[in-house]
Chain A
């Protein structure tokens, strides 16, 4: 059992853009939490908000969870699938919040985008616990596609103890949530994060 298991409540925000599969990640974590017999509430948005715009989902689990939304400054982990979107989510972070960030920028059309360097410098003002991981790059190189970069990051997060859930629960949840057609790729991703 993970040492953090005794925590009263764990708050996690995942941010990215529409189409990056945030709701699938949320479903996997929710199922994994259910395997560990903890309470959980999550929040997501559908429809207009998904059309390539900014997406933010909330996951809260622990002994007893009331609301599905995480208050400002009270996230334990912010998982950013895109760097500029991570910067948008800093209002959920405090100095102790861990930021696990995909070293990846999805350009916003027709405007001046922020650079990796600019985003990182700003994030450092918020928290010292930043892990910048080139997940998209790793997945493309090792697996031939970066659609699984989110799966890579949540897997990495459980192996590194950034999410207080057993890796085996996440593996079981991946098997439950991911359609058979894509399961092999996703399990490969999970194992890649292990090594």
Chain B
């Protein structure tokens, strides 16, 4: 695969959506790439991790998404062609850096990938629709539907960024990022060393977001967006098929593929407008679509996953140009869960009053649910065993976190009483301990600790609460595919977690191998009685990397 990613051109190969994004970046001459891993975006980082030295690209797994974006911003400020990738929730973490970056704009073109996970196949916490962030941050956003578009849209995003000096976001979803398909290759832009020394040229007016300049920047940003809107009007990524029907469909991303399949299955020829650019929207193109000359168009169905962002925009546009037009969306298309061909086919059938019945095969006999499990030999089993022996689990609150130990929530373990976002087990633990005298044990993984576990740990010291925190150090970012992190041995001179914990002012700290059960159990019992925060670092490598 690496060979194909680096060398071949002119051919057609099968790529995963995420690999196609990598290829698109290489064909755009990317020089600097940063990421924090998270499904469904992880293969972008994994692939660059393997090929970056050969491709002459600088690549890093940063400590979290905000830091990764800030690194990318720095590279862009020095004129490098930059890509940054993360999963949906990572965009929330990076948000603080994202908004001002859109204001300052880029020097080197910068593309940001954000991967949503409708149906939460690999995501806890929420069914996020990152398109909402496009509005908030005013960041131009493209939505590819398949691997070929992943590659093409990344290239277009680099072009838009270069031309308008603004970062551009590509929003994928699981079924795009983890879709394989045939991709036609072009030449990678530069094959020799891409890591050039950039140069930071001082420009106070461009890089410093201080009032009153920041308000001018906002005005300039809105002007840029108008120009990008004009660009989107002419772009082939917003495309329309057939104009004959009384019925029209507007759709984007993966939903477009379901629409096309549904039309084929129902043997219908409806007008379809596929929107490749979500923000800014090609409003004139949409107006023309919903109000064509001598139009017989009566009804529009908006087919989009999750929240009805497009639908709301289109309803407003319809009011302006074709107030008799009926715009239908979430009446027929569910707002919760991802879409699939069956849902879209039956929605379109209802939309055009055509009979369509799916007779799903249902059997009385159902196999029991097969929950994901910690691997056999996972060192966390030893921690679980020690916990069950050390405390009456009914009388202790267990704080969960994002990582393999999310599975503590499943039977038979059942050691998870709350679960939110990365780093939150400790932050919430503090609030609980300030509010009640109940005992509490919070888990946090090694990669999560570096990601966002340190500030809340400091808060327990500073504002004085006494949870017991167990840092589950398995020396890798296991859940997302074993990426390295600052404390892992793969990183030269990995940073020692115990030193950090002590540096934060925690007095009761022990690093223990959970194989030594007696000592582990004893320490849990002892630390739970401490008047201040205490930390056990459970150190034993993930069974998968040990192999």
Q: Is A1 an interface residue (CB 8 A)?
A: no
Q: A40: which of B14, B121, B364 is its contact (CB, 8 Å)? A: B14
Q: Which of B14, B121, B481 contacts A31 (CB 8 A)?
A: B14
Contacts A27-B180, A45-B122 known; list 15 others, CB within 8 Å: A41-B146, A41-B257, A42-B181, A46-B42, A46-B481, A47-B40, A47-B481, A48-B406, A52-B370, A52-B372, A69-B258, A90-B363, A110-B411, A113-B367, A126-B361
Tell me whether B360 and A45 are in contact (CB under 8 A): no
Q: Among the listed B14, B254, B366, which residue makes an inter-chain contact with A30, where contact means beta carbons less than 8 Å apart?
A: B14
Q: What separation, in Å, do the CA atoms of A145 and B132 have in the docked complex?
A: 50
* Residues in chain A near residue B146, CB distance under 8 A: 41, 68
**Which B161-196 residues sit within 8 Å CB-CB of chain A?**
174-175, 178-182
B159 within 8 A of A: no
1/0 per position for B99-139, CB-CB distance to A under 8 A? 00000000000000000000001110000000000000000
B447 within 8 A of A: no
Q: Do residues A46 and B368 form an inter-chain contact, with CB atoms below 8 A?
A: no
Given A34-B13, A68-B179, A68-B181: A90 and B368 interface contact (C-beta under 8 Å): no
Pull 25 A–B residue pairs with CB atoms less than 8 Å apart, ordered by A. Answer: A17-B370, A34-B12, A40-B180, A41-B179, A43-B178, A47-B39, A47-B479, A48-B121, A48-B372, A49-B122, A51-B375, A53-B371, A65-B181, A66-B260, A66-B261, A71-B265, A72-B360, A73-B360, A73-B361, A87-B365, A90-B361, A108-B367, A110-B412, A113-B367, A125-B363
A111 at the interface (CB under 8 A from B): yes
Give Cα A70–Cα B341 distance, bound, in whole angstroms.
7
Q: A67-B258, A71-B341 are in contact. Are A53 and B180 (CB under 8 A)?
A: no
Interface size bucket, B side? 35 or more
Q: A39-B182, A68-B257 are in contact. Are A93 and B361 (CB under 8 A)?
A: yes
**Bound-state Cα–Cα, A43 to B121, Å:** 13
Min CB distance A175 to B, Å, is 14
Q: Is the CB of B39 within 8 A of A26?
A: no
A47 touches B42 (CB 8 A): yes
Q: Are B121's CB and A53's CB within 8 A?
A: no
Q: Which of A2-54 contact B (CB under 8 A)?
A: 17-18, 26-27, 30-31, 34, 39-54
With contacts A17-B370, A72-B342, A109-B412 taken as known, whether A41 is within 8 angstroms of B181 at the C-beta atoms is yes
- A112 interface hit (Cβ, 8 Å): yes
The CA-CA distance from A50 to B13 in the complex, in Å, is 25
- B545 partner residues in chain A, CB cutoff 8 A: none
If A47-B42, A71-B342 touch, whether A18 touches B180 (CB-CB below 8 Å) is no
Instruction: List the interface of chain A (C-beta within 8 A of B).
Output: 17-18, 26-27, 30-31, 34, 39-54, 65-73, 84-85, 87-88, 90-91, 93-94, 108-114, 118-119, 122, 125-126
- B479 & A44 in contact (Cβ 8 Å cutoff): no
Which residues of B line the A interface, CB within 8 A? 12-14, 39-40, 42-43, 121-123, 146, 174-175, 178-182, 254, 257-258, 260-261, 264-265, 340-342, 345, 358-375, 404, 406-407, 411-412, 479-481
Instruction: Tell me the bound Cα distance from A108 to B375 in angstroms.
Output: 13
A119 to B364, CA, bound (A): 11
* Nearest neighbor of B407 in chain A, beta-carbon distance: A51
Q: Are B367 and A84 in contact (CB under 8 A)?
A: yes
- Tell me the nearest residue of chain B to A18, going by C-beta: B372
Central interface residue in A65, A71, A73, A118, by most chain B CB within 10 Å: A71
Q: A46-B42, A51-B373, A51-B404 are in contact. Are A91 and B361 (CB under 8 A)?
A: yes
Q: Which of A17, A41, A112 contacts B368 (CB 8 A)?
A: A112
Closest to A33 in B: B14
Among candidates B40, B122, B367, residue contacting A88 with C-beta atoms closer than 8 Å: B367
CB proximity of A184 to chain B, nearest CB, Å: 21
Q: Say whether, besides A43-B179, A51-B407, A66-B257, A114 and B367 are in contact (CB < 8 Å).
A: yes
